[in-house]
Amino acid sequence: MGMRRKKPSVSKRKRKAMAERTLLQKDPNVNRNAKDSVFCDLFGRQEYLMQLYGVLHPEDKKTREEDLTIVTLSSVFLKGIYNDLGFMRGNTLIVLVEEQSSFSYNIIVRILIYIAETYRRYIDRNDLDEYSTTTMELPRPEFYMVFTGKRKEHPETISFRKNIPGMEGCPVHVEVKVIYESAEGDILSQYIEFSKIFTEQYKLYGKTQKTIDETLRICRERNILNDYLEKEGVSAIMYKFMDQETAMRKALRTERKEGKEEGLKEGKEEGLKEGKEEGRKEGKEEGLKEGKEEGIKEGFLNALAGLVEDGMLTISDAASRANLSQTEFQAEMAALAARR
């Protein structure tokens, strides 16, 4: 067996420095511009990202804008529709995912996939060796879900063990903090309020200029994201948001259709498989039953044939006891003699 190349040792200080660098420098799969949604567009800008970090970590008074590095991965979540934002602060990786309408525990699985992919790329980028005896230093993750829809129940956290069926006591533990609202006036609460206002206007007016105008009017009156909306070419961003809503609905319809078709296919295959297995089982049981009955019958006929041969019974008496005609009994005796 060939010798595996040993990677050069890395000092603890150097490993820590690597951990604090950008996760995926110049990686084409890092969406640094974050232009695919209002959520990513807003918090993909350093000044608003700093405000967001302040909401998540109000105890940290030392962090500055330049200490935060965006490391959002594209093409990780389903069809790129779900809004995700990843950024680093020192050796902490913070992942936020927005759910606009439907509350789904599947987001825990998507986050699990996200962090696994992030670690894989981090290990590759920093030339770390997962097979080394030296323990790797990896970014410590924090997971958040920002839910802007309506829901009666508001769990503070959701987790892989608690909310994914069959995972109770599972050694894998992923916990996600759910944010429904924030302190009045902070950047996160403003975004959540903006999303709700837009959703209401979209339901009323659809993909029209009226939706944009009314959303902006209400936001101005309530002083919601005014600086951002005035600064950023509002119409283009709002239309982008509407395209995103349309794409979301289309994706959900496609997923339901694909899920239904896949379910029918799997159900048919499973049904055929179960039917086959059930048929084998029933056939085996029926065969055992028939074999047992056949064995009893053959034994009985053998006993009668022996009595006839010994002159203790006539063929007529033996045939009568076997509930057969003399001709049938003689045929059975001939068949028995042939099998001996």
Distance CA 307, CA 131 (A): 80
Domain boundaries, the chain: 11-180, 184-252, 290-339
Q: Is the predicted pLDDT of residue 25 greater than 90, yes or no?
A: no
Under the banding of pLDDT at 50, 70 and 90, the label for residue 4 is very low
Distance CA 28, CA 25 (A): 9
Distance CA 9, CA 128 (A): 10
Please check whether residue 211 is in contact with residue 194, taking contact to mean a CB–CB distance below 8 angstroms. Answer: no
Most confident of 40-44, 85-89, 147-151: 85-89
- Mean pLDDT (the chain) is 76
pLDDT tens profile 245-262 = 555 555 556 555 665 666
Give the pLDDT confidence score for residue 207 in this predicted structure.
81
Distance CA 143, CA 111 (A): 8
Under the banding of pLDDT at 50, 70 and 90, the label for residue 157 is very high
Under the banding of pLDDT at 50, 70 and 90, the label for residue 32 is very low
Q: How far is CA 312 from CA 181, 296, 307, 334, 340, in A?
A: 99, 21, 5, 19, 22
Q: How many CB atoms are located within 10 Å of the residue 83 CB?
A: 23
* Amino acid identity at 17: A
Q: Is the predicted pLDDT of residue 266 greater than 60, yes or no?
A: yes
Q: Quick one: how far is CA 71 from the chain centroid? A: 22
Give the pLDDT confidence score for residue 293 in this predicted structure.
62
Q: Is the predicted pLDDT of residue 85 greater than 80, yes or no?
A: yes
Distance CA 327, CA 290 (A): 24
* Amino acid identity at 226: N
